[in-house]
Structure 1
Amino acid sequence: MSIAKRPSGKWRAQFHEFPGGPRRTKVFDRKGDAQRWLDEQRVNIARGEYVDPTRARQTTFDAHATAWMAAQPWRGSTRDKTESMYRTHIEPKFGVRPIGSLRTSELQAWATGLGATLAPSTVEGTYRLLSSILRAAVADRVIARSPADGVRLPRREAEIRVPLSVGEVVGVAENIVPELEVAVLVAAATGLRQGELFGITEDRVLWLKRELVIDRQLVTPSKGAPFFGPCKTARSTRTVPVTDEVLSLLAQHRQRFGAGDAGVVFHRDGGPWARNRAAARISDAATKAKVGVTGWHALRHHTASVLIAQGLGVTAVARMLGHSPAECLATYAHWWPNEDDQIRKAIARTWATSAAAAVCD
């Protein structure tokens, strides 16, 4: 680090980020100001907090975001969903901007604007993606701080789910394409996620044990061939008990349609069902059946509602769905019956005799 007086009478301060690294310079009217600036840079470098301002000006948001997303260890479906979210809601607004030019106030206005047209959950997911990209820029010393810090999202009201009734599930099954009729009923009786359902192969059906082995899921990326991938979480790997009725449905389906490629139970002319095609089919069926809740995941919620209505506890429901108990409670707590009366009776039974004896004494 050094300071030199220029012919103009001004003072030029200069330093190198690291030995042999690029030289950074700045000109000041007074020598004292130049020295204070050098001292600040020396401290920042020593702390590992130095940020080259030229990188923030020269790096576009899209260049940094694209490189960051490419480096993430996402599964194919997660990558497709995340990149679609970025290209739809973030890149058009901030892509060409220098990443150092973004301000908290404009990010706040952007988030508020999203809330006017998108569901709160979508706004939250989009904001989290933007925030993650900017945090990575801070970690890479591209910017000193994230302008996403301090942004407030629209209030997210608690979502009250209304599960499908048995009649509605049957209505969807009756109106879907024949190849998926049994798939709807099996999904409603097992609570499988869409990828788990369409990833079932014949060797995963344990007929004598009356179980389905769920240890993988079908992944159908937007580009490339479908493949079997790992389950969503470690808890998602499980065996799911099934009834004799479900096994009978699977047997009838097998007799009618046979097995698909790699032994897939539910297939489309032998090939796997692409995620978007299967989603479109159940949406169409729900419309025909005049059912308001659409999507394969609605059948998973139906399973949870049936188990809870029959008195099963959090642990059993979570195990069936491949959830953690905490996640299960966060999603379905409002479906469990109120236990206030049971609490009163339990306390009354325990204390009635002792309390009466104490009063008599």
Structure 2
Amino acid sequence: MGHIIKTPAGTFRANWRDGTGRQKAKTFKTRKAAAAFLAETETAISRGGYVDPHAGRLPFGKYAERWRESRNDELATKARDGSILRTHVLPRWADVPLSRIDFLSVQSWISDLGTRRSPATVAECFRLLSSIMRAACRDRLIGANPCDGVKVPVRRKKDTDEQVLPRADLVSRLLPAVPDRYRALVALAGGTGLRWGECTGLRWDSLDLDAAAVTVVRVAVEVAGTVTMKPYPKSRAGRRTVPVPDFATELLAAHREAFPAGPRGEVFTNSSAGPLRRTLFRARVWRPSLVRAGLLGRVDKMGHFKWRAAWNDSEGIEWTAEFTTEREAIAHVAKMASGGLRFHDLRHSFATELVSRGVPVTDVQGVMGHERPSTTLNLYTHRSEGRDQRVRDAFADS
């Protein structure tokens, strides 16, 4: 049982033992306040909801580090969360005691962050803060999660969120514009819906050109510029066999003849037989290919040794510049133009085309490697070619 004693200073000290039997004490100005606190504390201990009033003095930064060290996440997840913590969360909360973080301070931080960062970034910052504070609740360091009920900015769809490349444009426009070494890679992604890591982690032992099928068993993971191989895909459903269309099969066969396999049988490597890095591929191969294909900006020949580059910035304003070589003009547009098709949009386009052609959603789910068919419908299916006319035909007079 707890008890109250009067101190020489005229205050009243409540004494009790916590759930582990350790002696605790807290001083109050009046006996009534001490008695009320003691009654509430003893009730919490008996119900298993006791929180040490002094535990919340621990700075958020120190607890966040303990939280990170206790996690068993994948390498890519650890790198992403670590970056968000260092860049956005810790600068605001590192030195603040856990018990001093309240609902209004979190809501104010989120609102301010929303004026400077995208809704997606704000959502990630909030997710991490909330996860850490939830763990602090479970450790009985604080009584409640101050993140509960905080309103996070809604992520609105942008024009670039639903970019779909028709199969005809993939084959006739984009693939011819991709350098020979990487043409089969783009064809595989566009013809099977494989993710970047699944494509770059592919080895020849998982590719059967005679059966026109590829089996996803491992993926490449890039963290801080270092590429490692993970011997299993993103999820259980990610381990799958996907049929390969004829145009991709032909390019893969040509690729095998023209370029040697990597040291472990990798299908796709860079010019030094090393692993492909996504950022470098995007800057040096992907975006210049979009420019050459007429899918990003424009490059026109104006005369001998004169090329005119045109592109739009993020505000939709068109800019132009002149160069003495086509290569310089293409590189400049690839660097300066806003938006543009992403490599992952090949996956979007693949799923959208399958659904629009009447392939059952469960079959699309299987080749995409999704756990649930709702994921396929919600994330990767967009407006298909001829939709408006089909809707009109459905209500046309007979």
Retained in 1: the 8 A contact 2:240–2:369? yes
Task: Please report how far the alpha carbon of residue 29 of structure 1 lies from its aligned counterpart in structure 2 after TM superposition.
Answer: 3.9
Task: Please report how far the alpha carbon of residue 341 of structure 1 lies from its aligned counterpart in structure 2 after TM superposition.
Answer: 7.0
**Alignment correspondent of 2:367:** 320
**Alignment correspondent of 1:28:** 28
**Alignment correspondent of 1:128:** 127
Task: Please report how far the alpha carbon of residue 259 of structure 1 lies from its aligned counterpart in structure 2 after TM superposition.
Answer: 0.3
Aligned mates of 1:316, 1:185 — CA distance in 2: 21
Q: Which runs of 5+ in 2 are unaligned?
A: 297-338
Q: Are residues 287 and 71 of structure 1, via their aligned partners in 2, closer, same or farther at CA, if it must alter by over 3 Å?
A: farther
Residue 274 (structure 1) aligned to one of 274, 277, 287: 277
Q: Does 1:249 align with 2:251?
A: yes
**Alignment correspondent of 1:67:** 66
The C-alpha deviation readout for 1:233-280, integer Å capped at 9, x for no partner, is: 111111010123222211111111110021010012222223433344
Q: Are residues 18 and 309 of structure 1, via their aligned partners in 2, closer, same or farther at CA, if it must alter by over 3 Å?
A: closer
Structure with more of its chain in helix, by fraction: 1
Retained in 2: the 8 A contact 1:120–1:155? yes
Which TM-score applies when normalising by structure 1?
0.85
Aligned mates of 2:349, 2:290 — CA distance in 1: 14
SS in 2 for 1:84: helix
**Alignment correspondent of 2:196:** 194
The C-alpha deviation readout for 1:90-123, integer Å capped at 9, x for no partner, is: 1112122222212222222222223223332232
SS in 1 for 2:162: coil
Residue 379 (structure 2) aligned to one of 331, 334, 343: 331
SS in 2 for 1:331: helix
The C-alpha deviation readout for 1:274-332, integer Å capped at 9, x for no partner, is: 34333444245445654343432111112123223323232222222112211011124
Q: Which runs of 5+ in 1 are unaligned?
A: 350-361
Retained in 1: the 8 A contact 2:76–2:221? yes
Q: Are residues 114 and 33 of structure 1, via their aligned partners in 2, closer, same or farther at CA, if it must alter by over 3 Å?
A: closer
Matches within 5 A, 1:292-311: 292-311=339-358
Retained in 2: the 8 A contact 1:169–1:299? no
Aligned mates of 2:244, 2:150 — CA distance in 1: 47
Matches within 5 A, 1:93-112: 93-112=92-111
Q: Are residues 184 and 27 of structure 1, via their aligned partners in 2, closer, same or farther at CA, if it must alter by over 3 Å?
A: same
**Alignment correspondent of 1:3:** 4
Retained in 1: the 8 A contact 2:4–2:13? yes
Task: Please report how far the alpha carbon of residue 176 of structure 1 lies from its aligned counterpart in structure 2 after TM superposition.
Answer: 4.8
Aligned mates of 1:12, 1:108 — CA distance in 2: 35
Taking only aligned residues, the RMSD between alpha carbons, in angstroms, comes to: 2.7
Aligned mates of 1:264, 1:307 — CA distance in 2: 28
Amino acid at match of 2:17: H
Amino acid at match of 1:116: T
Amino acid at match of 2:163: V
Aligned mates of 1:176, 1:96 — CA distance in 2: 50
Task: Please report how far the alpha carbon of residue 135 of structure 1 lies from its aligned counterpart in structure 2 after TM superposition.
Answer: 0.9
SS in 2 for 1:335: coil
Amino acid at match of 1:252: A
Amino acid at match of 1:277: L
Retained in 1: the 8 A contact 2:352–2:381? no
Task: Please report how far the alpha carbon of residue 335 of structure 1 lies from its aligned counterpart in structure 2 after TM superposition.
Answer: 2.7
Task: Please report how far the alpha carbon of residue 344 of structure 1 lies from its aligned counterpart in structure 2 after TM superposition.
Answer: 7.0
Which TM-score applies when normalising by structure 2?
0.78
The C-alpha deviation readout for 1:10-51, integer Å capped at 9, x for no partner, is: 332211214552x32122344343222211111111222222
**Alignment correspondent of 2:208:** 206
Retained in 1: the 8 A contact 2:170–2:190? no
Q: Does 1:45 align with 2:93?
A: no
Q: Are residues 177 and 113 of structure 1, via their aligned partners in 2, closer, same or farther at CA, if it must alter by over 3 Å?
A: farther
Retained in 1: the 8 A contact 2:201–2:229? no
**Alignment correspondent of 1:162:** 163
Aligned mates of 2:70, 2:248 — CA distance in 1: 43
Task: Please report how far the alpha carbon of residue 170 of structure 1 lies from its aligned counterpart in structure 2 after TM superposition.
Answer: 5.9
Task: Please report how far the alpha carbon of residue 140 of structure 1 lies from its aligned counterpart in structure 2 after TM superposition.
Answer: 1.0
SS in 2 for 1:267: coil
The C-alpha deviation readout for 1:111-167, integer Å capped at 9, x for no partner, is: 222322333223222211221111111111111111111211123334551212443
Aligned mates of 2:249, 2:190 — CA distance in 1: 14
Q: Are residues 262 and 306 of structure 1, via their aligned partners in 2, closer, same or farther at CA, if it must alter by over 3 Å?
A: same
**Alignment correspondent of 1:144:** 143
Aligned mates of 1:293, 1:317 — CA distance in 2: 26
Identity fraction in percent = 32
Aligned mates of 1:253, 1:187 — CA distance in 2: 15
Q: Are residues 76 and 173 of structure 1, via their aligned partners in 2, closer, same or farther at CA, if it must alter by over 3 Å?
A: farther
**Alignment correspondent of 1:79:** 78
